[in-house]
Amino acid sequence: MKIGADGLAAGARQVASPNCDERPAGVQVTLLVVHSISLPPGQYGGDAIERLFTNRLDPAAHPYFAQLAGLRVSAHFLVRRDGELVQFVPVQRRAWHAGESSWRGRGRCNDFSIGVELEGSDAERFTPAQYAALARLTRALRARLPLRQLAAHSDVAPGRKSDPGAGFEWAGLLAALARH
């Protein structure tokens, strides 16, 4: 996998999100934030995540969606349960994924991070295909950007977010990254 000069990942399905903007001038992207998402919670495979990130989620389509009405969020990438990679925002732009956040004393994590959503929940294991896709993506991002750190959404927004959850296999991901 390769990230092109246009900020797009080769092989990723592109679904453009309007929920992004320019990063502050001179800011380097040094952090990858791992999230998890499923819409409705615990259900996989539908188009609700893509609809949320493109402002097309119908709040009447499911009782849970009503609380998301008007929300403007995105991530750079989504890794589906089968390992499919979907890209919403080019890596040089700022996706709106971390919200109010701080990493190692530095606030506004969206300014200097890449957001990757894994289709899943805190309560379930992620799939081997997702870990493999995340490792490939992380290697490609590191080849294009000065990405040096990985964190969970719960690390940058403690007390507010719990994803990707205690079951996320950090050791396995780091081992896969070290092998290449």
Give catalytic residues, as residue numbers.
117
Yes or no: say if 113 and 93 are a contact pair by the CB < 8 Å rule: no
Cα–Cα dist 22/111, whole Å: 9
DSSP conformation letters of 93-155: EEES-S-S-EETTEE-GGGGEEEEEEES-TTSPPPHHHHHHHHHHHHHHHHHS---EEEEHHH
Burial class (CB in 10 A: 0-12, 13-18, 19+), 8: middle
Cα–Cα dist 31/82, whole Å: 25
Q: How many CB atoms lie within 10 A of CB 61?
A: 14
User: Kind of pairing, strands 77-79 and 85-87?
Assistant: antiparallel
Cis preceding linkage at 128, omega within 30: no
